Amino acid sequence: MPTNLPPEYFDAERRFRQATTPQEKIGALEELISTVPKHKGTDRLRADLRRKLSQLREEAIRKKKSGKGDLYAVERQGAAQVALVGFPNVGKSSVLKTLTNANPVIADYPMSTVVPLAGMMPCEDIQFQLLDLPPIGNESTDGWVSAILRNANVLLLVIDLSEDPDVQTELLTDRLSEWKVSLLKTGETAGPDEAFISKPVVIAGNKLDLPEAPAGLEALRQRYGSLYPVVGISTRRKEGIEELRRAVFENSRIIRVYSKQPGKEPEMKAPFTLSAGSTVLDLAELIHKDFVQNLKYASIWGSAKFEGQRVQRDYILRDRDIVEFHLK
């Protein structure tokens, strides 16, 4: 069956072949997979690419454990990896501590974060991995920080509302652009430039408790609010924290799907997480390879026209769908 691959697939394939480090290969392969259209003609290709991606991740983990891999590579956990991005003393470590179970060094002096530090952020029935990184602008760390940002699922820009927040944001986006990372605007599904890796983004305006902050938040929203989600927070007073947590989830392009065995109640405590736009077949691949080979049809509760509607393998799932597989 013809695959009808778009031109961006071949551009991404070239970047994957040119990648040298494990992190670059993983990031390039994830980009390559995202360019493959989802229909029956590409089922085998997507399965092969996913297997290759799994092998690369396992290889990177083995090298890291043996001391041969990238010291700063961080294995993804949870529904998605969210990287905190910002300049010195904007409060990234405080955001991590407030949202997760991590206990980072929080200090008034710059560069208190020298290695990646991860924590798990609960959000309803799933968790996101938040990753605190050294501040942008440090030549000794920018190289590996940029590699982590290219591999993360979501970027969380942390801005100090008391010091020209719109200028900070412009400088951060300029630096990301130099690293060939573009930020997806609200409603966008892919970046305009195929040479860039596109990432969902949330802007967190921190230090809302300071006197200058309200005016800074207004300036930030006027300039960037129509482009990206902007949330004002104070980690000191715990203001806006739940709004930020929700914004990360809503802009992660992640959906939750629950499984159901025929004749039984669905399992609602441990959802599967997939990228928005994923199909019944994608879920089957995630559960077990035998499901792909033996899948006859699936029944859907949630986004279907009626409860328990029978659908085919190319049906696009929505958040909170319940899926019941019927095998041959």
pLDDT per residue rounded down to tens, the chain (328 residues): 456 788 888 877 887 887 766 666 776 777 788 788 887 788 888 888 888 877 877 776 666 555 544 556 788 889 999 999 999 999 999 999 999 987 765 555 444 456 788 899 999 999 999 999 989 987 777 788 888 999 899 999 999 999 999 999 999 999 999 999 999 999 888 777 777 899 999 999 999 999 999 999 999 999 999 999 999 999 999 999 999 999 999 999 999 999 988 889 988 888 999 999 999 999 988 888 777 888 888 999 999 899 999 998 899 999 999 999 988 7
Rounded Cα–Cα distance for residues 94 and 100 (Å): 10
In which residue ranges of the chain is CATH 3.10.20.30 found? 254-327
Q: What is the pLDDT of residue 233?
A: 97
The single-letter code of the amino acid at 315 is Y
CB proximity list for 49: less than 8 A, separation 6 or greater: 29, 32, 33, 36
Rounded Cα–Cα distance for residues 12 and 293 (Å): 28
Rounded Cα–Cα distance for residues 211 and 327 (Å): 62
CA 212 to chain centre: 32
The single-letter code of the amino acid at 208 is L
The single-letter code of the amino acid at 271 is P
Q: Which of 3.40.50.300, 1.10.760.10, 3.10.20.30, 2.40.30.10 is the CATH number of 254-327? A: 3.10.20.30
Coil, strand or helix: which one is 24? helix
- 8 A C-beta contact, residue 78 and residue 153: no
- 8 A C-beta contact, residue 69 and residue 57: no
Q: What is the pLDDT of residue 61?
A: 60
Q: What is the pLDDT of residue 7?
A: 82
- CATH class in words for 81-250: alpha beta
Q: What is the pLDDT of residue 143?
A: 81
HSE of 102, CA atoms in CB hemisphere, 13 A: 25
In which residue ranges of the chain is CATH 3.40.50.300 found? 81-250
Rounded Cα–Cα distance for residues 52 and 220 (Å): 42
Q: What is the pLDDT of residue 193?
A: 75
Rounded Cα–Cα distance for residues 159 and 244 (Å): 13
Query: Quick one: angle between helices 43-66 and 280-287, nearest 10?
Result: 40
Rounded Cα–Cα distance for residues 99 and 95 (Å): 6
Coil, strand or helix: which one is 175? helix
CA 323 to chain centre: 23
Which residues are 123's β-sheet partners?
A: 126
Coil, strand or helix: which one is 324? strand
